[in-house]
Amino acid sequence: MEATSAILDKLNDLDKKFEAIGQKTETHLEGLVWAKPITYWDYIQTDALLNLQTQRTTLPDEMVFIMYHQVNELLFKMILWETEQLCENDVPTTEVFTEKLMRISRYFDMLTTSFDIMGDGMEVEQYMKFRNTLTPASGFQSAQYRLIEFASTDLINLIDNRYRGTIDRNTSYEHAFEHLYWQAAGKDYKTGKKSYLINAFEEKYKDEFLRYMEKYNTINIWKKFQQLPEDTQKDAKLIKAMRHYDYTVNVTWVMGHYNAAAKYIESKDGPQEATGGSDWKKYMHPRYQRRIFFPELWSEEELRTWGENV
Ligand code: HEM
């Protein structure tokens, strides 16, 4: 091989890189001589990934249930990956904001359009059997889903509708946490007692949630939108994209999830308890839940009728 000037330039670049961290270029070149060529399976870690599916029963459709949840968690991770890049950018340009929003939105579109895998892709009889082995666990305990919410909107929009008046910018994060809309699924409001579902969830994640809530209070997607130039904030195409993301997460996905839950939970001998034990029908419908990330982008009428006729 001829040592062309292009190769010498590369060696020079490498030398600068290693010198900066006190390393010898020659040693690293020697390492390269013995390094194994990379394969697809090592790079993607296929073996590790495909060994993460452990059934608790012998029912084949439990595998569909486990794997689809894992696919969801991977996509949640992709959403958070983009969200973090967008939100940690001090002053994103219109191009960066739009690009990241579209990526995030596409991932959630994928989750929404694929939800039939849950609704139609399992035998009801099998579901009704294997669900008993996963009680009291629930998708409710997906931490990444909560992080996406914190990163998307101002905290006030995640507070239970009934308590919004008691919360403002001076309220402690601890107090806000206790009044998040999803506390309703895990608390008996007469006795105030929390269920095992939520106690276990909080024991594992509450500290992380409080840190994340505080961090994203000032840098969430809505706050980044407000940093854009005024004419961009009025851009019809961008507003449409923001509304699409809001509606996809908070109505379309929620209804896909609600309908799948109804199909299975109500399939046998009248209404059954949810595995997590919530008053799920009341809790999960967008009409009652009223979780809206960007209320400023909807008309009064749209807000009033949120989640109706879906
Ligand atoms: C047949 C499939 C499913 C059924 C029957 C179902 C049922 C339920 C029920 C009843 C709840 C309310 C909490 C409880 O008491 O458990 C819930 C919450 C939840 N589930 Fe599912 N679920 C299914 C699939 C999924 C999938 C694939 C995901 C994706 C990760 C998921 C994520 C969630 C989340 C994030 C919540 C909390 C929603 C909120 O707080 O608004 N679920 N699910």
Q: Which residues contact 245 (CB under 8 A, 6 or more apart)?
A: 101, 104, 105, 108, 152, 293
Beta bridge partners of 194: 187
Cβ burial, residue 91 (10 Å; 0-12/13-18/19+): exposed
Q: Nearest 5°: CA angle at 243, between 230 and 80?
A: 95
> What confidence tens digit (pLDDT) does each residue in 135-194 have?
999 999 999 999 999 999 999 999 998 898 888 878 999 999 999 999 999 887 678 799
Measured between alpha carbons, how far apart are the two ends of the chain, in Å? 67
Instruction: Give the nearest ligand 1 atom to 119 CA.
Output: 1
How far away, in angstroms, is 285 Cα from ligand 1 center? 12
Q: What is the pLDDT of residue 268?
A: 72
Q: What is the pLDDT of residue 292?
A: 98
> What confidence tens digit (pLDDT) does each residue in 15-38 have?
999 999 999 999 999 999 999 999
CATH code given to domain 57-158+218-304? 1.20.58.480
Is the separation of the CB atoms in 186 and 278 below 8 Å? Answer: yes
Tell whether the torsion through CA atoms of 265, 271, 273 and 274 is positive or negative.
positive
Would the pTM of this model clear 0.85, i.e. be above it? yes
Choose the residue to mutate in 140, 144, 152 for probing ligand 1, maximizing ligand atoms within 8 Å of C-beta.
140
Average pLDDT of the chain to the nearest whole number:
94
Q: Which residues line ligand 1 (CB under 6 A)?
A: 68-69, 72, 118, 138-140, 142, 145, 182, 185, 257, 260-261, 264-265, 274-278, 280, 284
Q: What is the pLDDT of residue 271?
A: 60
Choose the residue to mutate in 117, 138, 280 for probing ligand 1, maximizing ligand atoms within 8 Å of C-beta.
138
> Rounded to whole angstroms, what are the CA distances from 201 to 45, 120, 186?
29, 29, 10
Instruction: Give the nearest ligand 1 atom to 260 CA.
Output: 1
How far away, in angstroms, is 92 Cα from ligand 1 center? 34
1: confidence class by pLDDT, cuts 50, 70, 90: confident
Is the separation of the CB atoms in 68 and 117 below 8 Å? Answer: yes
Mean pLDDT within 283-292: 92
Residue 270 above 70 pLDDT?
A: no
Mean pLDDT within 196-225: 97
Domain ranges of the chain: 57-158+218-304
Mean pLDDT within 125-136: 95
225: confidence class by pLDDT, cuts 50, 70, 90: very high
Residue 226 above 70 pLDDT?
A: yes
How far away, in angstroms, is 128 Cα from ligand 1 center? 15
Ligand 1, atom 36, lies closest to the CA of 140
Q: What is the pLDDT of residue 162?
A: 87
* Residue type at position 46: T
